[in-house]
């Protein structure tokens, strides 16, 4: 990160904070510093990419800092722009809210120059991919601009052939959140965003190359793939927000993934519920209520064999688990229609397990 080439926008309704932040940026040899008290005024330079980094205070005009960051991310969905919260608020609620909104760093006032510089560098480093991928993407884009479409497609293809590890980093960020390691959570979420952004850009580049070749079918195919990656990132952001809500409601929850799974299952998001339950199993692999919950999600997803397996495990852990036994018997008798139409209402009386049961 070369600060002499950096343009920074400061968003705050506090003139004292604005002066302090601007002074620190100047000391770090930042090229340009802009100050805004209204998000709408900041959006145009952000969209034009004349700003490379944002410092967002606890409040700006008509909204708090977290709401500002969330609105900014929504308005500039395709841009990967580092945004660092700089605030006097160190309360858990505000930290979690900033992470859920998509911050790339969290600085508590009053701060030192070294602290601000460290957060700036970390934000840029974790939002970038490794040097080989960066160079390959640049090469592919150069070939595209030169009209060398076949060569560009070859370069872009090599990028997307690698496994997309964004979900791995996202899951790591969720676990760090659960363990209250907020700095590490931010870094992991940053990495997930950077990887997804690279894949979206590569697929968009391939689409443009095929368009240049006069292949409209391939153009649409890879344009759709680029949009799918952005949709995945939107979905991960939604899951992160839900997880933060759960942590805020019960910061000491033994296994917040179980609560998340129940919530998603009741919303009809069975793949999301099963993903949450998979993470929950890592924390409490021998909780019969969790196994029962997974079975219910499997039933709604019509994966009856997997549901039976989890119910058998639940009954083995608690032989007197009546609800699991009844459901297991119906599955073995293939009474699928009866199961789907039945509205269960049971008490949460865990045996060995301590997690809430999806009723």
pLDDT tens across 319-353, in order?
999 999 999 999 998 887 777 665 443 334 444 45
Band (235; pLDDT cuts 50, 70, 90):
very high
> What confidence score (pLDDT) does residue 352 get?
44
Q: Residue 341: its pLDDT value, please?
A: 60
pLDDT tens column, 119-162: 999 999 888 888 888 899 999 999 999 999 999 999 999 999 98
pTM of the complete model? 0.87
Residue 308, judged by CB atoms within 10 A of its CB (0-12, 13-18, 19+), counts as: middle
Residues 6+ apart with CB under 8 A from 104: 82, 83, 84, 122, 123, 126, 127, 186, 190
CA distance 217 to 201: 19
Which pLDDT score, from 0 to 100, does residue 130 have?
Answer: 81
86: helix, coil or strand? strand
Angle between helix axes 216-249 and 270-283 (nearest 10 degrees) is 50
Q: Is the pLDDT of residue 354 over 80?
A: no
Query: Residue holding tokens 């070859």?
Result: 154
Q: pLDDT confidence of 356, banded at 50, 70, 90?
A: confident
pLDDT of residue 355: 82
CA angle 251, 256, 257 (to 5 degrees): 160
The pLDDT of residue 318 is 94
Please give the pLDDT value at position 357: 79
Residue 3: DSSP 8-state: G
Same fold, 3-125 and 256-341: no
Cα angle 218, 220, 222; round to 5: 70
What residues form DSSP beta bridges with 56?
Answer: 11, 85
Residue 78's pLDDT band, with cuts at 50, 70 and 90, is confident
Say whether 308 sits in a helix, a strand or coil: helix
CATH class of the structural domain 256-341: mainly alpha
Element (H, E) at 106: strand 105-108
Which pLDDT score is estimated for 346?
37
Average pLDDT, the chain: 91
Structure tokens that stand for 132 in this block:
């080989």
Eight-class DSSP state of 128: S
Q: What is the pLDDT, as a whole number, of residue 347?
A: 34
Overall CATH class of domain 3-125:
alpha beta
- The model's pLDDT over 60-77, given as tens digits with 9 standing for 90+, comes to 999 999 999 999 999 988
Mean pLDDT of 292-308: 92
pLDDT at 247: 94
CA nearest 112: which of 190, 3, 27, 34?
A: 27
- Checking if the pLDDT of 105 tops 60, the result is yes
Sketch the domain layout of the chain as residue ranges.
3-125, 131-248, 256-341
């Amino acid at each position: 990160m070369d600060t002499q080439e950096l343009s920074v926008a400061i968003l705050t309704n506090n003139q004292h904070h604005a002066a302090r932040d601007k002074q620190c940026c100047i000391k770090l040899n930042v090229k340009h510093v802009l100050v805004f008290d209204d998000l709408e005024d900041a959006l145009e330079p952000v969209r034009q990419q004349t700003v490379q980094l944002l410092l967002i205070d606890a409040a700006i005009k008509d909204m708090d800092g977290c709401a500002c960051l969330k609105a900014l991310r929504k308005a500039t969905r395709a841009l990967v722009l580092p945004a660092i919260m700089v605030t006097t608020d160190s309360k858990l609620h505000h930290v979690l809210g900033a992470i859920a909104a998509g911050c790339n760093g969290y600085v508590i006032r009053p701060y030192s120059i070294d602290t601000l510089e460290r957060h700036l560098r970390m934000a840029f480093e974790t939002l970038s991919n490794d040097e080989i991928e960066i160079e390959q993407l640049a090469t592919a884009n150069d070939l595209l601009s030169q009209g060398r479409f076949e060569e560009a497609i070859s370069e872009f293809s090599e990028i997307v052939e690698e496994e997309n590890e964004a979900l791995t980093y996202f899951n790591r960020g969720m676990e760090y959140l659960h363990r209250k390691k907020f700095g590490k959570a931010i870094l992991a979420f940053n990495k997930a965003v950077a990887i997804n952004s690279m894949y979206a850009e590569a697929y968009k580049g391939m689409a443009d190359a095929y368009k240049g070749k006069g292949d409209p079918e391939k153009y649409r195919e890879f344009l759709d793939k680029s949009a799918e990656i952005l949709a995945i990132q939107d979905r991960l952001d939604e899951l992160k927000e839900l997880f933060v809500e759960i942590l805020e409601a019960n910061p000491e929850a033994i296994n917040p993934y179980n609560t998340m799974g129940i919530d998603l299952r009741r919303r009809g998001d069975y793949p999301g519920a099963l993903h949450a339950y998979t993470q929950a199993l890592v924390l409490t692999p021998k909780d019969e209520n969790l196994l029962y919950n997974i079975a219910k999600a499997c039933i709604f997803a019509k994966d009856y064999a997997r549901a039976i397996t989890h119910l058998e495990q639940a009954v083995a852990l608690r032989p007197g688990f009546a609800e699991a036994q009844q459901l297991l018997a119906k599955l073995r008798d293939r009474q699928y229609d009866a199961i789907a139409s039945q509205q269960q209402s049971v008490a949460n009386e865990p045996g060995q397990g301590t997690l809430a049961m999806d009723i």
